[in-house]
Structure 1
Amino acid sequence: MNPVWVGVDVGKEHHWACVLDAEGRRLLSRRVANDEADLMALLGEVTGLGADRVQWAVDLTTVEAALLLTVLWDHGQSVYYLPGKAVSRAAAGYRSEGKTDAKDARVIADQARMRRDLAELRPTDDLVVELRMLTTRRADLVADRTRALNRLRQHLTAICPALERAANPTGQRAWVVLLSRYQRPKAIRRAGVTRLTGVLTGLGVRDRTAAAVARAAVGAAKAQTARLPGEDIAADLVAGLAKEVMDLDGRITELDSAIETRFRRHRQAVVITSLPGMGFRLGAEFLAAVGDLGLFTSPDQLAAYAGLAPVPHDSGKRTGRLHKATRYHRGLRRALFMAALTAIRCCPTSRAYYDKKPGEGKRPVQALMALAGRRVNVLWALLRDNREYHASPPITAQAA
């Protein structure tokens, strides 16, 4: 046997590759440009060493490593993943206090040589890659919308605090539409309820909602006759931010349509959405986070990846203590948590399990986490068997 291990410290413009033999001796260490020609040259150098087995390891799986991984997979190479945090911790046990790409690459290669618990990476389905990009972009737009709404409320307070208290731009689109046209208390009082209602209905707001928002806006505007300093500038800023929120709403809606279209094309989309609380959006986030379910040999591994499995914290005679995990996939945990939160409203079985937890000393968030962890077992079994969820187990011929 003549195996070698290749550690690659992934970068945006360049990578650094280090090759070690079975004794940990360095056979090659150099910078590699993040382009196909240089990566092919590196692959040729490694295979030219005459090793009968080559194992690659990387510290990132993001877009910076996409070309590298594609080249390696296209040529039948085995690639393993060592998280960046694990590299940083392991580097403390190697000589020199400094941090360089060359040192990190050697640490990655050496850890891959010694460890047997690294997860092997597999080529990702194009559909999953697309969902990952779309869900990430949607999260960015939602964050932009939240920031715009916070700034809008701040500037609206500088115009009329009563109007800011009455407004609900976060939960009602009608308020955003109104504030894109009217911001000053004087203008709102002059327009009156009837005219404001007509403007809102003309812009697509339902009659009942338009009338309620118009009455609330006029009532708040009548509570203040004083003109605050900087009102004109603040009004322009509020109008601009309201239009920005409306534009973001439209872009988020377009993304939702693209996400749903691609998610429905996945072979297990029906299985995932059959679980109560798991709609197309959360299902897409689940697929984007998990990728290939075959990487998880048990539901416990999936729960640990989502941070839903408690971690032991024993020391000496102190045993049996558990604490919350700190290393997990945030996106996967969010998707499973939100699905559980929805399930307690629409699924009697989930609600009964959730209601039982306070009697066991669990706080509401802990009860939700316990429910999410329980549902991981169900979802994993459904995906493994490729069957849809049913509230009551099917009656078999033997049971009948």
Structure 2
Amino acid sequence: MITNHAEIDVFIGIDVGKHDHHAVALARDGTQILSKALPQNEGKLRGLLGKLRTHGTLLVVVDQPATIGALPVAVAQAAGITVGYLPGLAMRRIADLHPGEAKTDARDAAIIAEAARTMPHTLRGIRVSDENVAELSMLCGYDDDLAKLATATSNRIRGLLTQIHPGLEAVIGAHLDHPAMTALLVKYPTPKALRRAGKRRVETLLAKHAPRAWKRWATAIFTALEEQTVVVAGTDAAGIVLPQLATALAQTRSSRDEVFARIEELVESHPLFELLTSMPAVGVRTAARILTEVVGKDFATAGHLASYAGLAPVTWRSGTSIRGDHSSRRGNKVLKRALFLSAFAALKDPLSRTYYDRKRAQGKKHNQALIALGRRRCNVLFAMLCDGAYFHVPMEATAA
């Protein structure tokens, strides 16, 4: 929410781009002062803002406050200018109200500026970004990419093992998240290589990485090898691919560990760390997502936060034929996933479990009950952030 909208004299809409932006400036009466293409260049942006400052107080509004729109936001904030952004969904709906079907940078910038001038309720404020939060956002995004890469690589390994030796896959695939199995596949990737190495060498290799389970795993591996004597077509090729995939998987997991160590340092050094983690089932990764996706943004009520996270139910009503509620398919997907997984982990907490069981008793399915729990926890999170208060169990729940 832009609080000083009544004091603004010039509304600048910037349609950001990878290499070039387009800026349109409107006076309070709607007169167009400027429409100009701009490169991703600090000097050019400063020059534009300096020129427009002669007309009065400025408001800069962008359609993407991060990634390719980070430089215009940073330049405007450094100059002491109020900055806001127009969410993508609001941008598309407002664009439908304007005549014409053309899609140009100049038209989009003009729509952003007009929305900033006439519909301030559609705007979101942007605060000066904290360096730690900016670093957290980048690291969390990279951690998500690494997680997807690890999952894809792991699935590929299991698929190849299933193709050449299903019994071996049942043993190795079940423990593929352990370093011992990736080390085994790097050195002995095929059934032939395992037989040639012998049980003793395999046990020695596994014992280095899994001192408790090595004997059990080695026995299971050679039991599976005895159950299949035929050689499936493509086994030799798998012997080339599997070591490389196993090496890549080990490297990806090592990178995740390094990234997580830095994320943990940043989260623990943040002033809100103890407040956030006082809530049940909010660990380092969930706290990091709350810091990057929630903190620094303005939400009028807990309902606004829940809607932003995609946890607010959507009501459908049309006469007497269509009646019901369903979960939202919009909102911040990253935040929704973090809060959903946190709600799932919170089932170990007695208070959360009681609420979940009550929703299940009302006829809701598992995911619906979890979303309802996430919505309720969203209310608590909003109150904690607004009041700066740590989580505490209500007195009536304690008495019960």
Q: TM-score, normalised by structure 1?
A: 0.91
Choose 354-363 or 15-24, whichever is displaced more. Answer: 15-24
The answer on 1:296 being equivalent to 2:299 is: yes
Q: Could you say if the C-alpha distance between residues 371 and 42 of structure 1 is closer, same or farther in structure 2, counting changes exceeding 3 Å?
A: same
Describe the superposition over 1:8-53 as per-residue Cα deviations: whole angstroms up to 9, x where unpaired: 00111111000122343322101011111000111022213x23x3
CA distance in 2, matches of 1:170, 1:34: 45
Q: In 2, distance between residues paired with 1:376 and 1:112?
A: 29
The answer to whether the aligner puts 1:120 opposite 2:111 as a matched pair is no
> Which segment is superposed worse, 352-361 or 133-142?
352-361
Match of 1:281 among 285, 293, 304: 285
Question: Residues 58 and 82 of structure 1 are in contact (CA less than 8 Å); yes or no, is this contact kept in structure 2?
Answer: yes
Once the two structures are superposed, what CA deviation does each residue of 1:202-249 show, in whole Å capped at 9, x if it has no partner?
A: 2x222x321222122212211222222232221121111011111111
For residues 4 and 314 of structure 1, do their structure 2 counterparts lie closer, same or farther at Cα, with a shift above 3 Å needed?
A: farther
Which residue among 93, 98, 104 is the counterpart of 2:102? Answer: 98
Is the Cα contact below 8 Å between 1:185 and 1:222 reproduced in 2?
no
- Residues 1:230 and 2:230 aligned together: no
1:88 aligns to 2:92 (yes or no): yes
Structure 2 length normalisation: TM-score? 0.91
- Residues 1:47 and 2:79 aligned together: no
Equivalent in 179, 203, 208 of residue 197 of structure 1: 203
The aligned residue for residue 157 of structure 1 is 162
Alpha-carbon deviations, 1:114-151, whole Å to 9, x = none?
A: 21212121111111111101110100011111111122
Q: Give a deviation string over 1:243-274, Cα, whole Å, max 9, x none.
A: 11111111111111100001001001011111
Of the three residues 322, 326, 331, the one matched with 2:329 is 326
Alignment-derived partner of residue 225 in structure 2: 221
- Count matched residues: 389
Looking at structure 2, the residues matched to 380 and 87 of structure 1 have their Cα atoms a distance apart, in angstroms, of 26
Which 5+ residue runs of structure 1 have no aligned equivalent?
395-400
Tell me, in whole angstroms, the C-alpha distance in 1 between the residues paired with 2:387 and 2:103.
Answer: 47
Native 8 Å contact 2:25 2:113 kept in 1: yes
Q: Which of the numbers 184, 193, 199 marks the counterpart of 2:190?
A: 184
Amino acid of the residue matched to residue 32 of structure 1? L
The more displaced of 171-180 and 253-262 is 171-180
> RMSD over aligned Cα, in angstroms?
2.2
- After TM superposition, the structure 1 stretch with the greater mean CA deviation from structure 2, 97-106 or 227-236, is 227-236
Equivalent residue, structure 2, for 1:384: 386
- Is the 8 Å Cα contact of residues 159 and 235 (structure 1) preserved in structure 2? no
Counterpart residue type for residue 272 of structure 1: L
Give the equivalent residue in structure 1 for 2:178.
172
Question: Which residue in 2 is equivalent to 1:398?
Answer: none
Which blocks of at least 5 consecutive residues in structure 2 are unaligned? 1-6
Aligned residues of 2:83 and 2:126 also touching (Cα < 8 A): yes
Matches of 1:126 and 1:317 in 2, distance apart?
Answer: 53
Q: Secondary structure at the match of 2:159?
A: helix
Q: Structure 1 residue 316: deviation in Å?
A: 5.4
Deviation at 1:335, TM superposition (A): 1.1
- Hey, what does 2:9 align to over in structure 1? 3
2:365 aligned partner? 363
